[in-house]
Amino acid sequence: MHAFVDGLVREPALSDAPGRPEDILTLFFERSMSSQTKGRDFLRRISSRETDRDQPTDLATDLATRNAQLNALSEWGIPDSTLDPPQPAGRHYAANAGRQRR
């Protein structure tokens, strides 16, 4: 998660508490007024649904899944140049460059 230096994104992404509406807006919608408006519209629609809703999930399982995904990102993501010593060279995907480095 080192690439997410903005605390506004990092905090909701790594929180162990269930997602608050404002966290969902921060994580999945741009900061523009238009996008935030669309995000609030989405939250109203999804919370008003009464049929065919997803079954509640186990928070511990959700957190374990999230942590496994974060570990995978850490292993295969953009290397963190602040680590001392640097991580061993490996195959990394440079998401911001859109290409693979070896």
The pLDDT score that the predictor gives to residue 33 is: 96
The pLDDT score that the predictor gives to residue 83 is: 59
Q: Which residue has the tokens 């408006």?
A: 37
DSSP string, 16-37: SSPPPHHHHHHHHS-SSHHHHH
Burial 53-68, CB ≥16 within 10 A → b, else e: eeeeeeeeeeeeeeee
* pTM attached to this predicted model: 0.56
Tokens representing 77? 């993501």
Total number of residues shown for the chain? 102
pLDDT, greater one: 81 or 100: 81
Band of residue 25 on the pLDDT scale cut at 50, 70, 90: very high
